[in-house]
Amino acid sequence: MTFKGKDFKSDKNLIFSEPWQAELFAITLNLHEKGLFNWDSWTKKLGGSLKREKNKSKDDLEDYFLNWLSALEETLLEKKVTELTKIIKIEKAWRDAISKTPHGKKVEISGKVLNSIL
């Protein structure tokens, strides 16, 4: 994936402590590339989230990406791409899937569950 001339697939300097962080990053870039929002408005939204939620986690990288997620959710709600009830249901589905997945295994939500939400 490239953004502003930078190839993120081959960039070994990107740091993600969890796979969901990399996936969130890729989803955000994809939505930007599809024209859902411009990058300047995105960075302002992310900056606002970071200022509001400063230092709530002991893990700086986790804290950063939780704020990234919050900013993306706000953007999707503002653009009327989704509804808060759907975000809450998806979050619950992830928590349920995480609790049922053995340690070290990939966490997945079934298509049936996703289809019932979306």
At 40-79, the pLDDT tens digits run 999 999 999 988 876 565 667 888 899 999 999 999 999 9
3-class SS at 110? Answer: coil
For residue 20, name the pLDDT band (cuts at 50, 70, 90): confident
For residue 113, name the pLDDT band (cuts at 50, 70, 90): confident
The domain locations on the chain are 18-81, 83-118
Q: Is the pTM of this model over 0.85?
A: no
14 pLDDT higher than 70: no
CA separation for the pair 42, 24 (Å, rounded): 14
CA separation for the pair 75, 78 (Å, rounded): 5
- Arithmetic mean of pLDDT over the chain: 84
Distances (CA, A) of 67 to 1, 62, 71: 22, 9, 6
